[in-house]
Amino acid sequence: MALGCPSSKGSWSWLAELLLLGPLLVLLVSGLGTSLGQNVYTNTWAVHIAGGPDEANRIASKHGFVNHGNVKWAEQQQVKSRKKRDIYTEPSDPKFTQQWYLYNANHRDLNAKGAWEMGFTGKGVVVSILDDGIEKNHPDLIANYDPDASYDVNDGDPDPQPRYTQLNDNRHGTRCAGEVAAMANNGICGVGVAYDAKIGGVRMLDGEVTDVVEAQSLSLNPQHIHIYSASWGPEDDGKTVDGPAKLAKEAFLRGVTEGRGGLGSIFVWASGNGGREKDSCNCDGYTNSIYTLSISSSTQNGNVPWYSEACSSTLATTYSSGNLNEKQIVTTDLRQKCTDTHTGTSASAPLAAGIIALALEANKNLTWRDMQHLVVRTSHPAHLLTNDWRTNGVGRKVSHSYGYGLLDASAIVALAKNWTNVGPQKKCVLSMAAEPSHLVITKTVDGCAGTDNNVSSLEHAQAQLTLSYNRRGNLAIYLTSPMGTRSTLLAPRPHDYSSEGFNDWAFMTTHSWDEDPRGDWTLEIENVAGASDYGETLLCSVPLPPKNALLPHQHKHHPHPNSSSQPPCHTPSPTFPPNTTQVPGLQKQSVSELCEQQNDDYKLARRACQILEMYCVLVIWGYCCFCIYQIRRVDQLFETYFFLLGFR
């Protein structure tokens, strides 16, 4: 018997590789690829040769099949269908093919399919949507609905069912819930990112929202709920500065210290929709908090959406709506319906919450800070377009528009599986002297070396400021780390005409994550109004300072101008003390010039000072006790604190 494989030229094509398994010889022969019927044949033959391995070796070493009389069996190998017996099958839901952001073979996506293929679908993880309620009987949510993760704070009962109106204006929470945990393979709508997670909802936005309401919502069942997702905040009008009050702050702190058995509740927050109003998400105390994971948006084509806000506290990005020609988000809708028109950063935060649920399934022992580390390390710029990508001090790309970039579900799950928990958080607090006339302040720090709070690897950096300023929207504030990473803590907000300034407001940046905080930190406060834009000139009576003409007067310690009489006026030229620094934009004037103005301006100045409680930063040193204040320049910078939070 002769066995062989004829080539197209009639010669015998021979062994490419061989695998010897006792007397079984597998011959990998080139030149044959036959298909008979439905069978697909390969170029591999299995040949049973009597005589054992030595005989098989001897025969295989020859250059042709020759009938040796001891070939007992031969069969050309054919391809067989075999499937992995894992739990993943691609969802069959009718709208899944429209969920371009979860899986798209020809486009960037959140790589959810990669996480699903690894077997992670959110099982055992509980997510609660803090919003206007959740339609618990929605056919695409009902199997995953968790009553222990739900409550109606507005009406004080356990049922979070939304209040139905003609305009369906309480659909927001139900839409967000579907993004996280809409069921898979049930023939309805699409799927959630974590389609096997449990989902609940807190009805808290359909009524008066108070500090108590927020605190109750943030504190609901923290040993049962793992992730809280919120797509709301203060007005995105470009002029509001607001955040959690006393009780809500305490709820955040208790959540991260006591929630999930001490691992910490995870709070996911939408970064805000005030882009058209030039708003800054650092003026939103929820997204600006170190306790929240702030999420921004990208359009389908990788552009910054028109509604997106830029700030240094944003950690990462998911997809959402964009221009009219770009697709939006598919999810559950009120009245047991389905929609493909969910929009805004409201749609981005729940996608992030779902991805975080996948990571928690992969590793139940992750702390709230571990999760932020994972997000920083696995997010990537991808195709996200903006001109503000920068490389920070440890070589990571970071942007005020996108944070560290697009979340990657597969990457975060893979890293989470074997993640080692970071050490306890350390907080280094640095006080800076009040220097009202210095708009560039540099502080050399050692990260609290030699103390229990020594920080050598940075997570969050905060600059807590108290300052008064006549037109807050003209302020820009920057913080530069010792490794050269420059964060925009506050961008100018043209609609913010407030004269309230900032009172103990903690501006936060994540852009120096993992950097060494030791060295020179520089805080810059800039007036973007232009040199000729002075506003009104106000004359205020102030006491003469004993040594230095530049003092950070506290309002309660500074007397109001005398309302009954004008201050004395003398004409000698003023003498300025040495080392006096003038606020940029302020004009020096002689006492005689001031006196010439006083008759016209004194009443206006006195009234303005009394009403606005604005006091002077430049004291004219001399016999005439006047100061001049340009209302569009920095008034007083009372206190500055740096908070460096990290570990090791």
So which residues are the catalytic ones? Answer: 131, 172, 346
Measured distance CA(46)–CA(49) in Å, rounded: 10
Question: Which helix or strand (DSSP H or E) is residue 218 part of?
Answer: helix 211-218
Counting beta carbons within 10 angstroms of the beta carbon of residue 599, is it exposed (0 to 12), middle (13 to 18) or buried (19 or more)?
Answer: exposed
As beta bridge partners, residue 539 has: 628
Question: Which helix or strand (DSSP H or E) is residue 599 part of?
Answer: helix 591-612
Measured distance CA(353)–CA(128) in Å, rounded: 10
Backbone angles phi, psi at 466, to 5 degrees: -125, 115
Measured distance CA(537)–CA(593) in Å, rounded: 13
Measured distance CA(194)–CA(343) in Å, rounded: 19
Q: Are strands 126-131 and 227-230 parallel, antiparallel or unpaired?
A: parallel
- Phi/psi zone of residue 153: left (φ > 0), alpha (ψ -120 to 50 degrees), beta? alpha
Measured distance CA(615)–CA(436) in Å, rounded: 12
**Helix ranges restricted to H, 328-425:** 344-362, 368-378, 409-417
Residue 208: other Cβ atoms inside 10 A = 7
Measured distance CA(187)–CA(258) in Å, rounded: 40
Q: Are 208 and 186 in contact (CB under 8 A)?
A: no
- Whole-angstrom distance between the N-terminal and C-terminal Cα of the chain? 75
Measured distance CA(599)–CA(568) in Å, rounded: 12
Measured distance CA(471)–CA(189) in Å, rounded: 49
Backbone angles phi, psi at 54, to 5 degrees: -65, -45
Q: Are strands 440-445 and 24-29 parallel, antiparallel or unpaired?
A: unpaired
Q: Are 263 and 481 in contact (CB under 8 A)?
A: no
Measured distance CA(516)–CA(340) in Å, rounded: 45
As beta bridge partners, residue 630 has: 537
Instruction: Look at residues 393, 288, 389, 307 and name the one whose alpha carbon lies nearest to residue 347.
Output: 307
Backbone angles phi, psi at 363, to 5 degrees: -155, 100
Instruction: Look at residues 349, 426, 415, 350 and name the one whose alpha carbon lies nearest to residue 377.
Output: 415
Coil vs helix vs strand at 104? coil
Q: Are 218 and 255 in contact (CB under 8 A)?
A: yes
